[in-house]
Structure formats: C-alpha cells, structure tokens
Amino acid sequence: MAGSKILIVDANAASRKFVAETLQKDGHHILQAASGKEGLIVAWRDRPEVIIIDPVMFDLKGEDFAIRLRSDERTSRVFLTALSSDPLPARVRSCMDAGFNEYLVKTAQAIPALIEMVGRALGDTTAVKEGGFLIAFMSAKGGTGTSSLCANIAMNIARNQPEARIVVADLVLPIGSIAEIVGYESKQNLVTIADMPAPEITPEFFREHLTALANWHFHLLAGSPDPENGSQLKVGRIGDIVEALKASYDFVLLDLGRSLSWFSQPLIEHADLIAMIVSTDLGTVTLTKTVWEYLRSKGVQAALLYTILNRAVGLEGLTKAEAEKIIGVEIKMAMPYLGGNFSLANNLHQPIASKFPQDTASVVLKEASQQMVDQARRLRAK
C-alpha cells in the first residue's frame, strides 16, 4: 500500500539512507532515526505501520527496543523487522523472542526480501474478513475447559458439515494441551512450523501437511509440546500462520487459552466469533467481566461473543442468570458438569459425542456448534 509510514532505525547513516531511498521509490513515507531511543520517540509520536531496525545499536539493544514497543499500546501491534548486521542464530532467536516479526541479515539479497516483506506486512494490517471463519476460544482464567470445549466443538462443527474443512490451532503458551486431548503424537507443531522459512508457510503447506484426526474429523496444528520449546517459539510468525490457515480451511478454531498478549489480541479483534468460556466460580466470572470490558474498550463488538458457561468445577457455583448479570453479556450456552466422564473421554482421547452420545453434554455441544456457525455466518452476511 503506497503512502504508508515506515520507520527506519539504524545507527549507520549510509545503510539507513540506502533503505530509505529504496522504499521511497514505492511511494512510502519514510521516517528515520539514528538511535534506539530516538526510534522509540518517533514510533510513539508518528505511529508508523512498519519499523525496520538494525538491532545492533549503541544506546538500546534491539531486543529492549522490541520489548518497549510491544508493551506500549500505541505500538504493541506494529510490524517490526530486523535488518541486521548481526547474523548469529542466537541473536536471531533473542530478537524473535523479544517480539520481532521477522529477522533479515544485511546481505545483497536482503533488499528484495525486505520489499516483499513490507508489502506483505502492509497487506496484513488492512486484512479484511475473508477466507475461512476464525473462531477464537478464550477464557479469563485457566482450567475453565477452554481446550476441551475447543476440540469438542470443532469435532461437532466438522460432523455437522462433512463437506467443510476444519482446523484447530493450539496457540496456548508455554505449553498446549489439545494434542494430549485428541491423542496426537507427531513431532510437528506450532514451534517447528514457525521455525520454517517464511516463504514456505503457505496455505498449500497447511492444506497438505497438517495431520487429519480420524476420530475428531478435523486437522490439527498442535501447540508447543513443552515450556522449553514454547520459549523458543517465533511468536511474530503467528499472524502469518493464521492468515495461511484461513486461506486453506473453512473454519479455523484457535485455542488462545487465557492469554491476552500482543499476538493474541489482534487475533481476537479479527475473529469472526469469540467463544468466551466461563466457569461458574465467582472469581472466574468477575475476571471475565474485566477481560470483556477491556476488549470492548478496544472496539470488540458484543455481537461477536459466544459465551459458554461451563460447569467445569462441579455442581455448585453461580447460575446462568447470576453470571450474566455480573459480566453484562448474554450467556448463549450452559455446559453441564460431567464429573469424571469429561476427564475420562479426554484421557481416552475421544470426543464426548463419541464416548457418551446419549449424554446431555453431547446434545449441548452439538447445539452450541450449530449456533456458533450460524452466528458467524450471520455476522459475515451483514
């Protein structure tokens, strides 16, 4: 998109000038800064869409620059790439961990790659709702049943619509749990995929290389298998991964767990539907109110919410009406307490609908999945 603001931060004046002139030819408005601190000031004042920075700087390391950008609301979601004079893998890793989206090393080939990447980043920031439906599963607190419901609702969506292609992506850090619930054992996961060269992360790749789970009727992008791997995830790649999934599946269900972070928040804001899972204890209900008010202040429409009250913790706790009153939103579905049966199905890696087809829970899951699809379709039709 011509006319976009791009900030170049580089202590090396010749390098900065060269990149600036190259991008200016494409009609972009170029801002420049010669140090990290100056770069932050310009970024917060002028709000560029893209920042290109050499992380090797005298006043502020690129990693610290990234952390400060990501923790400030004005720049938490800006596209940040390194054009770096440091080619060491350890440096690439530490920058990606700190919140860089991409890392290019200064070489002769870097400029075409940079131009291509800038184009892609600017395209992303104007992304409209197209492609598959994006359904974000989240909760305000852990242990509310988000992952189990995500997997079981995905299974029901798939069964209700045999012609549709469904994928579940487990984005919970530092460790995902959908693989365990569905009995997935392959080595491929979010971390290994995010580690692939960016041009290989395409819709075709996801169409052909994600495992199809026969019992569950969906494909899985498994999450991080352990915290060690999770800490090495190139988080900056997640946006591109989700875009590619949307281009190759009809429904993309994301398990975001209880994380609200610089990478999960844009996914929530771009979702077609937000499945908010609430357990019946007062603590979770109160936290849900806080999280929802925050999302609403970011412009998320109440129409996108599909709130499920899940009796994950037992028969006691608040009623639907009490929870609705506290959170201030309608609760669309109440999932009954299944006692040990829920864990039993999980431990056997089986969907509730297959293990306990006659149980009320199976009926509720089927109904919820149908309502969610209908709601998402209605919203798109507007």
Ligand X SMILES: Nc1ncnc2c1ncn2[C@@H]1O[C@H](COP(=O)(O)OP(=O)(O)OP(=O)(O)O)[C@@H](O)[C@H]1O
Q: Which is nearer to ligand X, 126 or 358 (CB)?
A: 358
Residue 375 binding target from Mg ion, ligand X, none, CB below 5 to 8 Å by type: none
Tell me the C-alpha distance between 353 and 342, whole Å: 11
Q: Which helix (H) or strand (E) holds 133?
A: strand 133-139
Contact indicator for 210, 203 with CB cutoff of 8 Å: no
Q: How far is the CB of 195 from ligand X (least distance, A)?
A: 23
- Going residue by residue from 282 to 311, which x/- string records binding to ligand X, judged by CB under 6 A? ----------------------------xx
Q: Give the one residue of 4, 101, 139, 147 binding Mg ion; rule: CB under 5 A.
A: 147
Q: Which parts of 346-365 interact with ligand X (CB under 6 A)?
A: 346
Residues 111-140 interacting with ligand X (rule: CB under 6 A): 139
The gap between the terminal CA atoms of the chain, to the nearest Å, is: 26
Distance set, CA 150 to CA 39, 124, 159, 201 (Å): 41, 26, 14, 24
- Looking at 146, 229, 280, 350, which residue binds ligand X (CB under 6 A)? 146
Residue nearest to Mg ion according to CB distances in the complex: 147
Residue type, 334: A
Question: Closer to ligand X at the Cβ: 33 or 150?
Answer: 150
Q: Which CB atom, from 81 or from 147, has the smaller least distance to ligand X?
A: 147
Collapsing DSSP to helix, strand or coil, 341 comes out as: helix
350 binds, among ligand X, Mg ion, none (CB under 5 to 8 A by kind): none
Taking CB under 6 A as the criterion, the residue among 143, 174, 183, 225 binding ligand X is 143
User: Which window, 6-14, 75-83, 243-251, 335-343, contacts ligand X (CB under 6 A)?
Assistant: 335-343
Token couple for 175: 């460790």
Q: Show the tokens assigned to 27.
A: 């009609």
The torsion defined by the Cα of 322, 326, 328 and 334, in degrees rounded to 10, comes to -40
Q: At what angle do helices 146-160 and 360-381 cross, to 10 degrees?
A: 70
Distance CA 360, CA 307 (A): 18
CA distance 251 to 272: 10
x/- site string to ligand X, residues 254 to 273, per CB under 6 A? ---xx---------------
Torsion sign, CA atoms 4, 10, 12, 15: negative
CB of 325 to ligand X, least distance (A): 22
Q: Residue 156 gets which letter from DSSP?
A: H
Say how many residues touch ligand X, by CB under 6 A: 22
Q: Taking the complex as a whole, how short is the minimal distance between the CB of residue 149 and ligand X, in angstroms?
A: 7
Q: Which residues bind Mg ion (CB under 5 A)?
A: 146-147, 177, 257
Interface residues with ligand X (CB under 6 A)?
139, 142-148, 172, 177, 257-258, 310-312, 335, 337-339, 342-343, 346
